[in-house]
Amino acid sequence: MHDDRTLVEARLRRVLDERIRPAVYPESVPLRVAVWHAPGEPVPVAQGLAAEPEPIEVGARWGAPWGTSWFRVTGTVPAAWAGKTVEAVLDLGFDENMPGFQCEGLVYRPDGTPVKGLNPRNQWVRIGAPVAGGEEVRLHIEAASNPVILDYHPFRPTRLGDKDTAGQEPQYTLARMDLAVLDETVWQLVLDLEVLGELMAELPADSPRRWDILRAVERALDAVDLQDVNGTADRARERLTGVLSAPAVPSAHRISAVGHAHIDSAWLWPLRETVRKVARTTANMTALIEDEPEFVFAMSQAQQWAWVKEHRPEVWARVKKAVAEGRFVPAGGMWVESDTNMPGSEAMARQFVHGKRFFLDEFGIENEEAWLPDTFGFAAGLPQIIKAAGSKWLLTQKISWSRTNRFPHHTFHWEGIDGTRVFTHFPPVDTYNCSMKGSEIAHAVRNFRDMGRARHSLAPTGWGDGGGGTTREMVGKAARLRDLEGSATVVWETPRAFFERAEAEYAAPPVWVGELYLELHRATLTSQAKTKQGNRRSEHLLREAELWAATAAVRAGFPYPYAELDRIWKTVLLHQFHDILPGSSIAWVHREARATYERLAAELTTIIEDAQRALAGEGTTPLVFNAAPHARHGVPAGGAAAPAPPARAAAGGTLLAPREDGGFTLDNGLLRIAVDARGLVVSAYDPAADRETVAPGEAANLLQLHPDFPNMWDAWDVDSFYRNTVTDLTDAESVTAGEDGASVRVVRAFGASRVTQLLSLPPDERRLVIDTEVDWHETEKFLKLAFPFDLHAERYASETQFGHVHRPTHTNTSWEAAKFEACNHRFVQLEEPGWGVAVVNDSTYGHDVTRTVRGAGRPGTTTTVRVSLLRAPRFPDPETDQGVHRFRHALIPGASVADAVREGWRINLPERSATGAREVAPLVTVDNDAVVVTAVKLADDGSGDVVVRFHEAHGGRARATLTAGFPVAEVTATDLLERPVEDGEPPAHEAERIALRLRPFELMTLRLRRH
């Protein structure tokens, strides 16, 4: 037989595009359209419905960037259409290739009842099936003219990302506003041919099944009269019945389709637009659930559910009904799909606390899976947080984006730093926007790395990022793939049903230990520095607010601010979303974030000061309040206040002496720091160890500037070739003594920017504090702060949630080489046996560590830690990080991990000075510094119980005694949601003394009931 495959396949494509798809709507009449453009921000629904619109014609331009236009469409169903299915086809000017990334709409009835959302892949509204004919149609569309930020030429700078700079030029052209007859037979034929054509293209050329499909398609096309598609569609469908009814082979891969719409809580749109995106999507999905009995939809991010409840109560009622039926499923159990690299320990825990509690309170549903399809890598401390929240599974897709190494598993156990394992799945379909294309299904089968041991994977199905969700076409295609020869089988299932089945079939999955590092988007650890600083500051202020408020509540009857803290926590957690905290959102998002963090800081400071005043009373005695988990300056750890030590000038404990080269020496007896005329640290000598910190011939406190123009994803990525070119910023305008007589002030300029640094050596402390102020006006540049150490270390410690992770300093393998930019929280520490060094920070996350072997004359290894300070990408925010920034770092020679932990807390939780009448004893104390208390608070249920959360922080076993500063009636070990844990024995306690035994990095929460 002659090979005519390409002939038939080309015929199929053209006939579908030019004849069959256009025949889906064989008859139409235009609707009358009028529009009212809302001034400023979106208006309430009632106001939009009541506004008086002006006529507008199809073909007219509409929609200033970020504007809201209320369209009113009216018309009459022709009497001749009686008995037919009729829909309104409403095209606001959509590009079907950009669902979620441009204009969208929510359709209302005249009484304000929401009907469904409109987007480029969902432009229809059902009027009747069948209609009687003569019906009057009146619909209102709340249309958002969101500009296209990520266009066909992506990553080009644009001012459209902020309403303040976007201008007023209309963005869209009204395309189609019709009433139309839907020919359901033709619509079904389209799906038949799409499914078979896509399946055929994925089968081997010598497969009998492929040829069976080809001949059936050919016969169906022969049956279609191109001049009367609607009259012959049924005949064409009959000729496809045989190939569509052939069952899948018993060994076929099984795909659990989960209806989904990954909606970024902010990204290329502001938070207020996400509120409306969620309403549009949930309106669509509840409508689809009513139409499709097998369809199941899952939505994560409790914040988005809360937005629907607050802003769209009519949609919320439909959502609640669908949840009760088990068809609309809360997923993930987190407040938002957050970044997991940068949130601190307690914040990461609270993502689960607030997310899971919302779903429990609203629906009585306990989520057991973490659902993070789009998060940019996963910190090694996350598994035990997931488990401590009462969950046990994790889903993500993003690791498939890694550029260097292909991850070896799709279903596996992920083991965290403390040994906790969670059952984890990476969908081999490699997208969280699966549309049921044959190519996607076939890719999932071929790509699945666990063949022979498992045969079950998940496919999040629906348009995402900007929302939209699953379409009726996807559901129709999934129905044909339920049991189809040559394809994986597809069924709609909940995430829980998938995980239970997958876990049951894979009794001994492989294990991955340590962080799930994404070999991409590394620059998100640095972009938008003020957003990151706001997050870090908020996390520590929240710790203080809870600590002091709880202490004051127990000791002085202070009214614990439950509602205020709950609201503030949720706001901070929202801003940890994986496009806000990483700095990859538009300018509008980060402008608002900066203002929000300032407002929260003021609120939290008020709570802290009010609580401290209640504790200390009115008086004139100078007091120092210490909220850190370690004692310092004679003040006990964890929420204590003591009289301030006698005032002593810094110079009394630190000597500043000029050097012959024009620099200075700082010496406090514990460290001797030499700063040369360039303002660089050329020596950091540790007398106790008789050890020099800085590598021979090198200089620390060295600012380095790199070009930074990645191949794509500007705000997200830094590519390894950035290191090929570097400028050392060694020219100083001035190097002078600081005003306190115990510090060195350095001023230097480069490009259009300026840096002022203050290097200080506090009395009686083994740390060099470096305060850096950068007035930053560069573009497409990357600023680093380098510390080259005379140290031979094959690995280094980097703080993560509830512990630290070790990373190699070498690049033996491609996996190690790919980690050329990594995340730390408060410290990076590295050591040789017996001596180490740490760099701690108050607000930075990105860093790199490299090692070189020195040449002849200076033998040894130089290990360099570089802190990432600032970037200047131009997309999606062309003004990223322009302006003044302040950073604080400290260099700790001779530092062990224990020192790094302590100093990391110290630099982030400065002491507070106040006056009062009395000292304040800590509410709880722990007698072992290896056990770090991360939270002291009152129980969320309002019982007055004190909740204490802590972990082993040094990486070893620890015994300790936790002592409560109040009478304790009962001690209960709990999960993160403050519920008793079932496994393990309760901690032993005698009166207020509780004996603790912790494994390395073990996390524990205790609930102390007061007498």
- Picking from 628, 603, 625, 602, the residue whose alpha carbon sits closest to that of residue 612 is 625
Residue 845 amino acid letter:
Y
- Picking from 444, 447, 391, 446, the residue whose alpha carbon sits closest to that of residue 414 is 391
Q: Alpha-carbon distance 253 to 486, whole Å?
A: 10
CB under 8 Å to 621, separation ≥6 — which residues? 643, 915, 916, 917, 918
Helix axes 184-202, 5-15, angle to 10 degrees: 150
Q: Look at the alpha carbons of 55, 60, 64, 67 in this order and tell me if their dihedral is positive or negative.
A: positive
Answer whether 194's CB lies under 8 Å from 623's CB.
Answer: no
User: Which tokens sit at 1003?
Assistant: 């996390």
Q: Alpha-carbon distance 787 to 771, whole Å?
A: 15
Answer whether 163's CB lies under 8 Å from 145's CB.
Answer: no
- Picking from 897, 889, 788, 786, the residue whose alpha carbon sits closest to that of residue 835 is 897
Beta bridge partners of 603: none
Give the end-to-end CA distance of the chain in Å, rounded to a whole number.
91
Cis? peptide before 876, omega within 30° of 0: yes
Task: Using alpha carbons, list the distances in angstroms from residue 647 to 30, 644, 651, 742.
Answer: 83, 8, 12, 15
DSSP letters spanning 563-582 = HHHHHHHHHHHHTTBTTTTT
Q: Alpha-carbon distance 925 to 962, whole Å?
A: 6
Q: Alpha-carbon distance 841 to 770, whole Å?
A: 9
Q: Alpha-carbon distance 273 to 263, whole Å?
A: 11
Q: Which of 339, 374, 877, 945 is catalytic?
A: 374
Q: Look at the alpha carbons of 683, 823, 544, 933 in this order and tell me if their dihedral is positive or negative.
A: negative
Q: What are phi and psi of 216, to 5 degrees?
A: -65, -40
Q: What angle do CA 418, 419, 424 make, to 5 degrees?
A: 115
Task: Using alpha carbons, list the distances in angstroms from residue 257 to 196, 433, 1010.
Answer: 19, 11, 49
Answer whether 314's CB lies under 8 Å from 307's CB.
Answer: no
Residue 410 amino acid letter:
H
SS3 916: strand
Give residue 510's region: left, alpha or beta (phi > 0; psi -120 to 50): beta
- Picking from 308, 364, 299, the residue whose alpha carbon sits closest to that of residue 334 is 299
Answer whether 901's CB lies under 8 Å from 606's CB.
Answer: no
Residue 143 amino acid letter:
A
Q: Alpha-carbon distance 464 to 263, whole Å?
A: 6
SS3 216: helix
Whether 483 sits among the annotated catalytic residues: the reply is no
Q: What angle do CA 857, 863, 868 make, to 5 degrees?
A: 135
H or E element at residue 901: helix 897-908
Task: Specify the DSSP class assigned to residue 247.
Answer: P
How many CB atoms neighbour CB 248 within 10 A? Answer: 18
Q: Alpha-carbon distance 329 to 341, whole Å?
A: 27
Task: Using alpha carbons, list the distances in angstroms from residue 572 to 56, 348, 534, 735.
Answer: 43, 11, 9, 40
Pseudo-torsion of CA 388, 390, 393, 399, nearest 10°? -40
SS3 436: coil
Q: Which residues are designated catalytic?
A: 374
